[in-house]
């Protein structure tokens, strides 16, 4: 559902109305409490409060009960408009509302304090005894809300107006749906998502960390097991890139200010860049993108049409500013490694090149087990914001759309949603929970070739401007791994699993047989461990399952005598005894097929 | 030869004396010329002059002739000591000498203006009519110099006292040897070195660049062919590391100031670090080393003796300050990627670990074709500069020395030459020209485990401090590639060659056969191109030789009919016609054996 569709939906009204009901219930419990703002959000609603004491889980249960009672009374919502003076009188003992009213009075912000172009109207909605500063929309009456289809989820700290220097408030999050079944489905999905939280699994499986005190926010340490997975993923992708005619290049992490002036990044991207550092009186910037370096390599020598297409790929680590408040595990970081590439193409060869890059993108994503795609095609912005020839934009948009059609990828068009420098495809994948993640992007650039005066000599002996396409397939290694962990809930495909099989001797006397089997499997190219610890077999199996190790190979007297192992899967399935050779063959096939 | 041995050698005296003779000859040509300083250096000598016009190559020929005449007159060198006043009178019209005399008078610097502890003595040496401020030593008389065993090489700009804000002078470089044979050998080696200059070959073979205006000094762009070689080298090394039980980890390029305070880098290494950048009021530094990040990963969880040794390896790109004047191609840069690793070891397992790491180091270097090693063992500095228990230093030094002996690597000991934090082995290789390059280092660290309070739980259930060893094998990818290019003069082993074979059709009608052969060889895993250009066969072969492509596969009617190719090597050797299968087998063997 688009944002606009959602905002005019009944569900949106239900959630918005419940935020009022929640505020009413909170003020019943804390008559001196102060209320701030309470909008509907994706999947639910929240409200921020300034209360005399921290809320407890019991409070939420209590509040939910009160809300249910209020809802059952089927109160009607009444809207009215007020002058600023009237509104200030009405909210005389609600200082946050007073501040919002002053904002509305001054104009330029809405009733949540967010910027708006709309004319300043001060309105309230009232149901039962509770009247709130609000522009709506709401349900007609609370009878339209199923009292068993909402739930309060949690509390969290939130700064008034998101400003760390102002009061800290208590935010209560709730969720609401049309009916109890949808609520249960959502709560189940939420529990699943929590189990799959990549930050939790990252810690449990010892894959990465981002929280070391001395490290700094938004920076990632890839621990040995996560590092191994990243290595396996990168090695696979690099080989595929080489096989497809990409060049692998390497560029530095800092560049002189003149580079970023020429590229225009210092003009239009500086907010996402870090402060410069000084080297011998010259300003250097951490790179937020790799493109200018690839362009320098292109320009290092005269290029002919015979050299094109040039496809430069780099696993380039870039640094972009994010406020510490929005950092989130691997999904929102300050330093990340893009699987970045730039295609430099003759204009008339461009449609084939887009086909090529989209198909390559799908091939790579499928190799990691994603099969469900959704594309967004963003086209030329209105007005004179866009650089470059409109005819070129048109050709580029047509090439992008044609490639999507040929690849049979469902897509939406976001008219005017392209960057100022060119149209693009954003490709999103759906994960095991049906959540949508944007990973890949294929993006034209009519700006940089102009700024760097890039040329190639055409068949006519004359210099021409090449087309330039940016693309990232996995997006960034960090974000992709966050998604991968959540998608697989840590039970990665065998080819990516840090440990692929663990041998579990039932008694000490099976230890040396296990070591021999492990040696053989290791020599065959599998990653194998022997659990020689002193725990009992059941515990060892549980431990291996917690570590999501694909194969547990249990060895007792019978297996040892028969030159076999008893194979158990992390799902709990027991495949029974197998000959070593048969297991080895099966495991190697599974690795090879990336299944 | 050690520096001290060189400074007391006859060759040193010959070179020093010739710098005086050169100054005399220059003043004969330019009576108003001003002379600065003229020391002997490795392989020769120079002198800096302030002259009325730039010197030409003809001037050097002329000067050499004058010098030869002066030498043939066998003048004797006379030393005398002077007061500062006398010296100033003697050099009244030589302002640079006056400044040096003033320095000597004030004490603390020698006659070259370099810091010294020696008592200030002002002395001159005179031969023929030329008297120079000098502390010697010189030959007794010019009859001890063979007039056919020296040569003036080139001129270069040099700032007075190396200060960019002071006068720019003209420096003349000369070389001198005991006899004409040694001179010729040296000149031959010089010409060879020039042919192998990695900056020149880097450009010719399109491997890398460091000179783009907008890039910034000391930063490297790895172009597609260089990038491919780096990828091949890294991929090989990563696999070897994994096979040897190393963990691959990844860490960011910036870290919070608290990290560098804790590690001590901000105390003892700040001069080599760049200015900090600010993120939300917090100072972050570009990393000059990877170690603190690896330590954070070690400390992320409780470690037991069963977990050790932990071997964390990272191709970590670090940034260290170098003055722009000393930057040199790939050999001296500001940003470079170390093949870095840290071993965390139980103290009593340390000797085996050192054996392991030294042997692994030799294995890796040998894989790149280096066979000739020389090690330097640097031991505990005198006094209280060194941190850590002297008994631990002793054990560590013994372990390093024992490993060198077992590996049968010739080594010298540099007593007291270790860093303050631990003893080390520096391993140098000799290249094809017999030049020595330091690449690998194996270095104990008794400092960081202490500073970060690293522990592991021993068999006794008590916390213990692990031993920590830093090591880099190739050193840095940049420097190693500089050395590799010069060692092979660009004719890399087949496994590393960006293009391994080029198919050369004699006429257009052989083109499609060549394409088919190329496809087959590519499918077999070789990197193959077809030269479909319009040049004649001879030119194509020359071009392939210039690009140092290992195999040129020429195809005419005869080869096509017989399903063969005529194989030529880049050395010029012609192996004649071969069956495709035979060539394929031979090439794949060569790749596999890294020969």
DSSP letter for each residue of A384-408: T-S-S-HHHHHHHHHHHHHHHHHTT
Is the pLDDT confidence value at A468 over 70? yes
Is the pLDDT confidence value at A385 over 90? no
- Which pair of tokens denotes residue A238? 């690099």
Q: In chain B, what residues touch A282 (CB-CB under 8 Å)? A: 216
Q: What is the mean pLDDT of residues A481-495?
A: 96
> Quick one: pLDDT band at residue B87, thresholds 50, 70, 90?
very high
Point out which residues pair with B247 in neighbouring strands: B312
**Which of A254, A270, A335 has the most B C-beta neighbours within 10 Å, making it the best mutation to test the interface with B?**
A254
pLDDT in tens, A246-257: 999 999 999 999
Handedness of CA A284, A285, A286, A289 (dihedral sign): negative
Is the pLDDT confidence value at A118 over 90? no
What chain A holds in terms of domains, given with CATH numbers, is 3-195 (3.30.980.10), 217-251+288-488 (3.30.930.10), 254-286 (no CATH), 501-593 (3.40.50.800)
Q: In chain B, what residues touch A300 (CB-CB under 8 Å)? A: 206, 209, 212, 221, 223
Q: What is the mean pLDDT of residues A64-93?
A: 95
**Which of A:194-213 have CB within 8 Å of B?**
206, 209, 212-213
Query: What pLDDT is stored for residue A249 in this prediction?
Result: 98
Give the separation between CA A421 and CA A431, rounded to whole angstroms: 31
> Quick one: pLDDT band at residue A108, thresholds 50, 70, 90?
confident
- Which pair of tokens denotes residue A204? 């449990």
Token pair 């709506």 is found at A136
Q: What is the number of other CB atoms lying within 10 angstroms of the CB of residue A491?
A: 18
Q: Looking at residue A75, what DSSP letter applies?
A: P
Please state the ipTM of this predicted complex. Answer: 0.87
| Partner residue opposite B227 with nearest CB, options A231, A250, A324 | A250
Q: What is the number of other CB atoms lying within 10 angstroms of the CB of residue A531?
A: 20
pLDDT in tens, B201-257: 999 999 999 977 899 999 999 999 999 999 999 999 999 999 999 999 999 999 999
- Among B52, B71, B46, which Cα is nearest to B141's? B71
Query: What pLDDT is stored for residue A258 in this prediction?
Result: 95
Residue of B nearest to A533 (CA): B306
Q: What is the mean pLDDT of residues B308-314?
A: 98
Is the pLDDT confidence value at A547 over 70? yes
**Which of A:220-249 have CB within 8 Å of B?**
220-224, 227-228, 230-231, 235, 238, 242, 247-249
CB A416, CB A382: distance < 8 Å:
yes
- Among A342, A344, A262, A343, which Cα is nearest to A303's? A344
Contacts of A354-357 with CB under 8 Å at 24 or more apart are A354/A399, A354/A400, A354/A402, A354/A403, A354/A442, A354/A469, A355/A402, A355/A403, A355/A406, A355/A407, A356/A244, A357/A442, A357/A469, A357/A471
Handedness of CA B494, B497, B501, B507 (dihedral sign): negative
- Among A264, A266, A283, A274, which Cα is nearest to A323's? A274
Query: What pLDDT is stored for residue A213 in this prediction?
Result: 81
Pairing of strands B44-50, B373-378: unpaired
Mean pLDDT of chain B, nearest integer:
94
Pairing of strands B528-530, B501-505: parallel
Query: What pLDDT is stored for residue A548 in this prediction?
Result: 97
Query: What pLDDT is stored for residue A27 in this prediction?
Result: 97
Q: In chain B, what residues touch A252 (CB-CB under 8 Å)? A: 215-216, 219-221, 317, 335
> Quick one: pLDDT band at residue A80, thresholds 50, 70, 90?
very high
- Among A128, A176, A116, A174, which Cα is nearest to A24's? A128
Percent of chain A with pLDDT over 70: 99
Mean pLDDT of chain A, nearest integer:
94
State whether residue A319 sits within 8 Å of chain B by CB: yes
- Among A258, A348, A288, which Cα is nearest to A470's? A288
Is the pLDDT confidence value at A528 over 70? yes
| Partner residue opposite A277 with nearest CB, options B277, B292, B300 | B277
> Quick one: pLDDT band at residue A1, thresholds 50, 70, 90?
low
Q: What is the number of other CB atoms lying within 10 angstroms of the CB of residue B19?
A: 24
Is the pLDDT confidence value at B382 over 90? no
**What region does B162 belong to: left with phi over 0, alpha with psi -120 to 50, or beta?**
left
CB B177, CB B307: distance < 8 Å:
no
Q: What is the number of other CB atoms lying within 10 angstroms of the CB of residue A340?
A: 24
| B340 assigned to active site | yes
A10-29 vs A57-72: helix axis angle to the nearest 10?
Answer: 120
HSE (CB half, 13 Å, CA atoms) of A505? Answer: 19
Give the separation between CA B445 and CA B466, rounded to whole angstroms: 10
Q: Residue A541, Cα to own-chain centre: how many angstroms?
A: 33
Is the pLDDT confidence value at B434 over 90? no
Q: What is the mean pLDDT of residues B3-18?
A: 92
DSSP assignment of A149-184 equals: SEEEEEEEEEEGGG-TTS-EEEEEEEEE-SSHHHHH
pLDDT in tens, A198-255: 999 999 999 999 977 899 999 999 999 999 999 999 999 999 999 999 999 999 999 9
**Which of B210, B248, B524 has the most A C-beta neighbours within 10 Å, making it the best mutation to test the interface with A?**
B248
Phi, psi for B490 (deg, rounded to 5): 85, -10
Give the separation between CA A328 and CA B212, rounded to whole angstroms: 37
CB B568, CB B552: distance < 8 Å:
yes
Phi, psi for B373 (deg, rounded to 5): -120, 155
| B320 assigned to active site | yes
Query: What pLDDT is stored for residue B1 in this prediction?
Result: 66
CB contact under 8 A, A277 and B286: yes
pLDDT in tens, B499-536: 999 999 999 999 999 999 999 999 999 999 999 988 89
Give the separation between CA A271 and CA A263, rounded to whole angstroms: 15
- Among A316, A310, A301, which Cα is nearest to A255's? A316
CB A253, CB A244: distance < 8 Å:
no
- Among A569, A553, A568, A541, which Cα is nearest to A514's? A553
Query: What pLDDT is stored for residue B121 in this prediction?
Result: 86
Query: What pLDDT is stored for residue A107 in this prediction?
Result: 80
- 3-state SS, residue A260: helix
pLDDT in tens, B99-139: 999 988 888 777 677 777 777 789 999 999 999 999 889 99
Is the pLDDT confidence value at B478 over 80? yes
CB contact under 8 A, A250 and B296: no
Point out which residues pair with B469 in neighbouring strands: B343, B444
| Partner residue opposite A223 with nearest CB, options B275, B279, B300 | B300
Token pair 């599974």 is found at A590
| Partner residue opposite A258 with nearest CB, options B214, B224, B253 | B214
Percent of chain B with pLDDT over 70: 99
pLDDT in tens, B21-75: 999 999 999 999 999 999 999 999 999 999 999 999 999 999 999 999 999 999 9
> Quick one: pLDDT band at residue A76, thresholds 50, 70, 90?
very high
Contacts of A201-205 with CB under 8 Å at 24 or more apart are A201/A485, A201/A486, A201/A489, A201/A490, A202/A226, A202/A329, A202/A330, A202/A485, A204/A490, A204/A546, A205/A490, A205/A498, A205/A547, A205/A548
pLDDT in tens, A309-347: 999 999 999 999 999 888 999 999 999 999 999 999 999
User: What CA–CA distances, in Å, run from A111 to A17, A48, A89, A156, A456?
Assistant: 16, 14, 17, 22, 55
- 3-state SS, residue A447: coil
E strand or H helix that includes residue B172: strand B168-176
Token pair 């090695």 is found at A235
**What region does A417 belong to: left with phi over 0, alpha with psi -120 to 50, or beta?**
alpha
């Amino acid at each position: 559902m688009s944002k606009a569709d959602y905002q005019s939906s009944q569900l949106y009204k239900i959630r918005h109305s419940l935020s009022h009901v929640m505020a009413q219930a909170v003020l019943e419990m804390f008559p001196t409490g102060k209320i701030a703002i309470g909008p509907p959000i994706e999947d639910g609603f929240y409200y921020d409060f300034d209360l005399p004491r921290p809320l407890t889980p019991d409070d939420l249960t209590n509040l939910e009960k009160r809300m249910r009672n209020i809802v059952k009374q089927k109160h009607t919502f009444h809207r009215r408009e007020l002058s600023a003076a009237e509104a200030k009188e009405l909210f005389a003992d609600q200082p946050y509302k007073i501040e919002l009213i002053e904002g509305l009075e001054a104009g330029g912000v809405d009733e949540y304090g967010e910027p708006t172009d709309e004319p300043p109207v001060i309105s309230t909605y009232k149901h039962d005894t509770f009247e709130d500063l609000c522009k709506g929309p709401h349900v007609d009456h609370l009878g339209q809300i199923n009292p068993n289809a909402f739930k309060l989820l949690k509390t969290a700290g939130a700064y008034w107006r998101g400003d760390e220097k102002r009061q800290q408030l208590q935010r209560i999050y709730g969720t609401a749906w049309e009916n109890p079944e949808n609520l249960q489905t959502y709560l189940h999905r939420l529990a699943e998502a929590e189990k799959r939280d990549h930050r939790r699994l990252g810690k449990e499986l010892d894959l990465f960390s981002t929280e070391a005190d001395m490290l700094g926010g938004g920076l990632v340490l890839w621990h040995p097991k996560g590092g191994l997975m990243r290595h396996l993923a990168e090695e696979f992708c690099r080989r595929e890139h080489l096989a497809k005619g990409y060049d692998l290049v390497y560029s530095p992490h800092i560049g002189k200010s003149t580079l970023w002036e020429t590229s225009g990044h210092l003009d239009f991207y500086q907010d996402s860049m870090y402060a410069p550092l000084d080297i011998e009186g010259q300003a250097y910037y951490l790179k937020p993108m790799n493109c200018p370096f690839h362009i320098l390599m292109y320009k290092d020598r005269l290029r002919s049409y015979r050299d094109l297409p040039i496809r430069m790929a780099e696993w380039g680590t870039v640094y972009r500013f994010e406020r510490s408040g929005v950092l989130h595990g691997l999904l929102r970081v300050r330093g990340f490694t893009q699987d970045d590439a730039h295609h430099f193409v003759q204009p008339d060869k461009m449609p084939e090149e887009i086909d090529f890059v989209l198909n390559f993108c799908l091939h790579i994503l499928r190799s990691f087990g994603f099969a469900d795609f959704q594309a967004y095609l963003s086209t030329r912005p209105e007005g004179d914001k866009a650089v470059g020839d409109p005819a070129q934009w048109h050709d580029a948009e047509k090439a992008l759309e044609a490639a999507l059609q040929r690849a049979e990828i469902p897509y939406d068009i976001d008219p005017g949603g392209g960057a100022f420098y060119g149209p693009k495809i954003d490709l999103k994948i759906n994960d095991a929970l049906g959540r949508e993640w944007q990973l890949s992007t294929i993006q034209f650039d009519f700006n940089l070739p102009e700024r760097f005066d890039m040329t190639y000599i055409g068949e006519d002996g004359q210099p021409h401007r090449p087309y330039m396409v940016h693309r990232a397939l996995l997006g960034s290694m960090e974000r992709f791994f966050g998604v991968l962990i959540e998608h697989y809930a840590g039970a990665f495909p065998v080819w990516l699993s840090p440990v692929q099989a663990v041998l579990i001797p039932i008694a000490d006397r099976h230890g040396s047989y296990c070591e021999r089997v492990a040696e053989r499997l290791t020599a065959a190219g599998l990653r194998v461990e022997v659990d020689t610890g002193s725990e009992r077999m059941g515990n060892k199996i549980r431990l291996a399952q917690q570590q999501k190790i694909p194969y547990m190979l249990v060895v007792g007297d019978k297996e040892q005598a028969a030159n076999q192992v008893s194979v158990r899967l992390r799902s709990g399935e027991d495949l029974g005894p197998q000959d070593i050779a048969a297991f080895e063959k099966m495991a190697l096939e599974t690795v090879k097929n990336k299944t």
